[in-house]
Amino acid sequence: MAAYFGNFTNLFLQSAPWLLLGFFIGGLIHGFISTERMNRHLGGNSLWSTVKAAFIGAPLPLCSCGVVPTALGLRRSGASKNATVSFLVATPETGVDSISVTYALMGPMMALMRPIAAITSAIVAGTLVGRKTEKANIQRQTACKKACGSKKAQTEKTHSAAQKFISGLKFSYIDMLDDTANWLLIGLLFAAAVQAFVPESFFTQWGSSWLAFVVMAMIGIPMYICATASTPIAAGFLFSGVSPGAVLIFMLVGPATNLGTIAIIRRELGQRALIAYLTGVVVTGFLFAYITNLLAAHWPIQRHLLSEHHVVTGWVYLLSAVVLAVLLLASIYRQIKHKLTSNAVDKEA
């Protein structure tokens, strides 16, 4: 159990700054980007809006924990399900920081394949969401325009930048945090259990077979790890005998999915969007894994392992973890208080 709690603490520390950053970006989007502007760029269900969302998300240094609040901010500001899913896939799978670490640890081929596969899987996932899922979105946007569009426009004109900033922070660290806190904690707890109780030999025993693709996908889907942190682990798999293609699947699926993200996507975007999300990530990952193994036969993988890359210093991790813990405790308190109040009202009724 000591190893389990140690893993949980380490995961909480590693994810805290990215979670706070994701909520912060989500708040800025909600506070400063109008519904009309978001609808214009990411509100349609066209292929172009899906592509734009993928390229916007790809360079951002957000992992699967941090991208959820940011994506929810986009969605609630008017982005379509297609664009939201595309953003959700592209953002955690790659970023400028993780690409540089991939190049340092595994060479140019893996550093090149990673962003190409990430952007492609995002576009595929967004496209798979389909037009049917947008009917409810169009109706919601139309109703909002009729009921509160003029009021929102007036508010955006009269509010100062400071007021928008404060409003965005309240939206992120109260409203969105209350919606996602429980599932984020569940994802962290599960990831800690995987690291504590599943031996490393379990990941490496299948070598370069197709079964290795399946195993890496099954392990990666519920895991809770960011793109940068996944890279040294993936490099260790590579040097232990796992094929480059299977390693690529781990680097795509691991950061893009976890139990918390899956649950939140299902609740916020629906079952069809969740299926499109997972299909885009896994199927495209398998395709690029196969291509990567073919290329690896002619393009040697870099065979040295550098020290683990750290994006922020230790005190930032610690301070962020303290702030996040306080916010989560406050969120849990609000949820419990709301539930008790609701139960009391029900009993009186």
The answer to whether residues 97 and 256 touch, using CB atoms and an 8 Å cutoff, is no
For the ranges 3-12, 216-225, 247-256, the one whose mean pLDDT is highest: 247-256
- In which band, very low, low, confident or very high, does the pLDDT at 290 lie, cut at 50, 70 and 90? very high
- Residue 142 or 219, more confident: 219
Give residue 245's pLDDT. Answer: 92
Does residue 285 surpass a pLDDT of 80?
yes
Share of the chain above pLDDT 90, in %: 13
The pLDDT assigned to 155 comes to 44
The pLDDT of 108-117, averaged and rounded, is: 90
Give residue 118's pLDDT: 92
pLDDT over threshold 50, residue 61: yes
Q: Which residue has the higher pLDDT, 152 or 342?
A: 342
160-166 contacts, C-beta under 8 A, 24 or more apart:
161/32, 164/31, 164/32, 165/28, 165/31, 165/32, 166/31
> Cα–Cα–Cα angle for 170, 22, 330, nearest 5°?
45
- Least confident window among 54-68, 82-96, 315-329: 54-68
Band the pLDDT of 187: cuts 50, 70, 90.
Answer: low
Average pLDDT, the chain: 77
Rounded-to-integer distance, Cα 57 and Cα 75, Å: 14
Q: What is the mean predicted confidence (pLDDT) over 38-60?
A: 78
The total of other beta-carbon atoms located within 10 Å of residue 218's CB is 11
Q: Is residue 149 predicted with pLDDT exceeding 50?
A: no
State the pLDDT at residue 302: 53
The alpha-helical segments, DSSP class H, found in 107-133 are 108-129
Q: Which residues contact 328 (CB under 8 A, 6 or more apart)?
A: 177, 181, 185
Instruction: Tell me the Ramachandran region of residue 139: left when phi exceeds 0, alpha when psi lies from -120 to 50, beta otherwise.
Output: alpha
pLDDT of 150 above 70:
no
pLDDT value, residue 144 = 44
